[in-house]
């Protein structure tokens, strides 16, 4: 199964917050493939640096150990999809728009903890979403 990781899901796992155990169950299955957009990588990294709650290398270690593919898709068709999500699914964070668009393009399941902004996307069926909590 293909899973796109929202920054909230990775942060939840790195900080061992509620929902981390559900994420760990996904990681156990070697058949699962994990994808992270570069914009979400930046979100995680700057939060990690700002909070100093994690070691400097925890994100990179997680990506290596979980074999996460980081994608930097910035073609215009993809960016138009991101912009449309931001324009018409408000309020939604820009990073969430990148993650949702990537899950849509790859026909993957988006993994997140962010119910507040993403439940409306899930309810429309625009994107398959797994909420960790």
- Domain positions in the chain are 2-131
Residue-wise pLDDT tens digits, 41-53: 999 998 888 876 6
Please name which of 43, 31, 3, 37 lies closest in space to residue 14, comparing C-alpha atoms. 43
Q: List the single range of 12-16, 99-103, 108-112 with lowest mean pLDDT.
A: 12-16
Buried b (16+ CB within 10 A) or exposed e, 67-106: ebeebebeeeebeebbeebbeebeebbebbbbbbbbbbeb
Angle at 126 between CA 121 and CA 129, to 5 degrees: 60
Structure tokens at 60: 């990179």
pTM of the model: 0.93
* Residue 128 confidence (pLDDT): 97
* Residue 53 confidence (pLDDT): 60
* Residue 55 confidence (pLDDT): 52
The confidence band for 124, taking pLDDT boundaries of 50, 70 and 90, is very high
By residue count, the chain amounts to 133
Q: Does residue 102 surpass a pLDDT of 60?
A: yes
CATH no., domain 2-131: 3.40.50.1010
Q: Using CA atoms, how far apart are residues 5 and 34, in angstroms rounded to an integer?
A: 7
The confidence band for 20, taking pLDDT boundaries of 50, 70 and 90, is very high
């Amino acid at each position: 199964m293909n899973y796109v990781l929202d920054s909230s899901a990775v942060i939840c796992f790195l900080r061992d917050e509620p929902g981390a155990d559900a994420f760990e169950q996904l990681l156990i299955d070697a058949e699962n493939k994990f994808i992270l957009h570069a914009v979400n990588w930046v979100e995680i990294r700057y939060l990690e640096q700002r909070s100093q709650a994690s070691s400097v290398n925890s994100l990179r270690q997680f990506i290596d150990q979980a074999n996460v593919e980081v994608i930097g898709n910035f073609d215009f068709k993809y960016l138009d999809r991101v912009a449309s999500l931001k324009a018409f699914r408000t309020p939604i964070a820009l990073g969430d728009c990148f993650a949702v668009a990537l899950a849509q393009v790859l026909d993957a399941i988006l993994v997140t903890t962010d119910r507040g902004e993403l439940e409306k996307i899930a309810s429309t069926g625009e994107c398959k979403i797994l909420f960790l909590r």
